[in-house]
Amino acid sequence: MPRQSLKPDGTVYLSDEWADAQIDVDGTKGCLRSFAALKEQRRQLKTILSVGGGGHSENFAAVARDPALRHAFANTARDLCLGYGLDGIDIDWEHPSDPRQGEDYISLLVALRTALPAPRFTITSALPAGAWALQHIPLARACQHLDMINLMAYDFSGPWTPHAGHHAQLRSPARPHSDAACLSCHAAVEYLLAHGVPSRKILLGVPCYGRSFLGCQRPGQACSAHAGEEGTFEYRDLPRPGSTTYVDDETGAAYCVGEDGGFVSYDNATTVGMKARFLAATEDLDYSPCYDGLLCARLELPMDYWNESTSRKIGLAVARRPAKVPVTDPRYAGALMINPGGPGGSGIDTIRGAGSVLQDVLDTFEDPSDVPTNDSNARYYDILSFDPRGAPWMLRVLAEGNIGSSDAAQGRLWSMSHALGATCSAKPDAHDDIKQHVSTASVARDMLELIEKHGQWREAEASKLCRQSTKFGRGSRISSVQGRKVRESLQHKPGQEKLQYWGFSYGTYLGSTFASMFPDRIERMILDGVVNAPNYLQALWSDNLIDTEKALQSFYHHCASAGPSTCALASRGSTSADIEKRVHDILVGLFHNPLPVNGTTPEVITYSDTKNLIFSGLYTPIRSFPVVADLLAGLGRDDGTEFAKLLAQSHQFHCSDSPDRSGRTDSTSTVNYAGLAIACGDGDAQDFLTYSLFDKHRLELESMSPHFGAIWSAISTKNMY
């Protein structure tokens, strides 16, 4: 794929005329014609001209804006293809930076496709891996004109980042150390799929070089120097001589450490294989190792089950924590599916963070080695979960602050939500847009398909284990000990597989929906923290705060009861009222005077930050109350050092809504767009909502919870379209 450039007048030109068209290459004039000659020997070979790229994209915006320049671009690109026997064009515009440029990008593709019609010519586009670069491109519409998207899933870290990091990791780590660490192949592919890009049109780029960070031995360490040419080493020079090579199974990244390169991040055969397995969404559960002790798969399912409005598929991300016994063991209790709530909460994050705990709760207490195989009361479960359609896309809102944090915050939030809702609802190509197919009913249908696929996997796994056991002379033991009943229970029962399920919060509504749709397909179901379905379906979200003030009072009460030795807000003889007044005084002070915190990364702790801290702490009181008390006590001393560390994690480096916080409580205001799409698809239309009606709704919630009703009311502004 030779790279060429673009002039301001729209002309595509050869950036290296001598090499491209003049130099002798095995008796052929110019490299481009030599490629054409090579195609005579390799009929399957295709050559595509890449236009633009880093440092060569400055003219795209102006050319794409002007119809005459677009015409010149398309025609000169066609002339080059015909003149040199090329098969098409790759657009490497890095990258449309606002919605207008996103529309111009589509216009450029339309002009190019007119000049280079399919199937004779191929049109591709190289796109960066990150929502920051893709957010302004109407991807579903772009794919109507593109044959392929070349996803540049590399250079996540490099000389431009202050810390060492993996530059082409498959997945982001559970504890990202920087914004760069939040980037990953997984997130980039899921973003494209969620925005209407067919999986068959995604080509995942793999780097043939490594990124070096001198003086470092692991990701996250500060780095200011780099080895190699501009911080890179060619693949042929990796791993570095005398270094030690590692593969991080959690992130799917290879690296070497030592000698002249320091920490060098790159891809090797192992990690490329991991990426290939990740991309291979299949119609069956084909598991491969991922994260710490988990097995992951991508299950290909219909986007539209019922109306067949589109033939497109989705790739459902599935994770399983294996049971402590094999499926052929009579104590194997099957798979229990979990959903963390949300809506739109990531099941993958949940099983990573809490899967082992949930498994311990469900399983027989004793280790399998201490329990007789024929103990009919012993049970050991697979824990199974998945990311619901569209999850886990969570983005920060503008820093307008919570409603009530200033006299202008409510108006700004209303206007921003109004603009966002109108923009999203105006997107064309509705049938091919994942947002049209993310309702709870669709997710429940995915669950039905998942238990069917698990039944197929269970039977295949049992057959494999029996064959292996027979191979080593233990086949008779399996047949005699397990018996006919156990063997039959492992067979896949098409149309009869049963769901075992544990749903939390919104997950209870998902479970109820499944039960309503498929009542004969339930084995056991736990609905934990039940959602008021009528209230949710009316999009009111008005009964979630019934006991919030009681929970807050319990914080004051338990702090006073614990005393100063345990609760940092208390002093000798403090009462609940004393603790409440102290917290009130801290909030009043921050309302007028946010607290600045000096440090490597300066922070400002605001009234909204602190209200969010307290509010979210009420959700997990046993774990969070001590943390909240310590942080509030620090603010009372005008010491925000520890709080600033928390904000540094959530303000800058938070990738997804993981339930595994390790004591952290996010104070950042975020919008879960996947969750909003699900809630809007489930609930009544809110297009009648005016500013005055919203203000009335806010007052009703504040009467229920004076401290947090205003914060909670913001949910209504996200459901206007």
Q: Find all residues with CB under 8 Å of 589, minimum gap 6, and list them.
A: none
251 inside domain? no
587 inside domain? yes
Q: Are residues 365 and 446 in the same domain?
A: yes
Q: Are residues 576 and 642 in the same domain?
A: yes
Q: Are residues 510 and 581 in the same domain?
A: no
685 inside domain? yes
512 inside domain? yes
Q: 273-307: per-residue pLDDT in tens? A: 888 877 776 778 888 877 778 898 888 888 888 77
3-class DSSP state of 345:
coil
Q: 158-182: per-residue pLDDT in tens? A: 999 999 999 999 988 878 888 888 8
Residue 102 has pLDDT above 50, yes or no: yes
Q: Are residues 524 and 552 in the same domain?
A: no
Strand partners, 504: 528
Q: Are residues 455 and 580 in the same domain?
A: no
Residue 185 has pLDDT above 50, yes or no: yes
Q: Average of pLDDT values for 574-600?
A: 90
**Percent of the chain whose predicted confidence (pLDDT) is above 70:** 84
Active-site residue list: 94
Residue 315 has pLDDT above 90, yes or no: no
Radius of gyration of the chain (CA): 28
Please name the helix (run of DSSP H) or strand (run of DSSP E) that holds residue 636, with its range, or none.
helix 621-636
- State residue 653's pLDDT score: 39
429 inside domain? no
Q: Are residues 471 and 553 in the same domain?
A: no
12 inside domain? yes
Q: Are residues 93 and 60 in the same domain?
A: yes
Domain count, the chain: 3
369 inside domain? yes
CATH of the domain at 138: 3.20.20.80
Q: 41-85: per-residue pLDDT in tens? A: 887 888 999 999 877 889 999 999 999 999 999 999 999 999 888
Q: Average of pLDDT values for 653-681?
A: 50
The range of the structural domain enclosing residue 605 comes to 548-717
Q: Are residues 637 and 510 in the same domain?
A: no
Burial class (CB in 10 A: 0-12, 13-18, 19+), 530: middle
Q: Are residues 624 and 511 in the same domain?
A: no
Q: Are residues 513 and 594 in the same domain?
A: no
- State residue 383's pLDDT score: 97
Give Cα separations from 76 to 5, 92, 101, 141, 478 (angstroms). Answer: 12, 16, 22, 24, 71
Residue 715 has pLDDT above 80, yes or no: no
Give Cα separations from 609 to 399, 548, 616 (angstroms). Answer: 11, 18, 11
End position of a domain, from candidates 503, 531, 559:
531
End position of a domain, from candidates 127, 152, 177:
152
End position of a domain, from candidates 120, 152, 184:
152
Q: 223-247: per-residue pLDDT in tens? A: 888 887 778 999 999 999 999 999 9
Q: Are residues 509 and 552 in the same domain?
A: no
Q: Are residues 8 and 48 in the same domain?
A: yes
Mean pLDDT of the residues in the chain: 84
The DSSP annotation for 542-559 comes to -STTTTHHHHHHHHHHHH
37 inside domain? yes
Please name the helix (run of DSSP H) or strand (run of DSSP E) that holds residue 504, with its range, or none.
strand 499-504
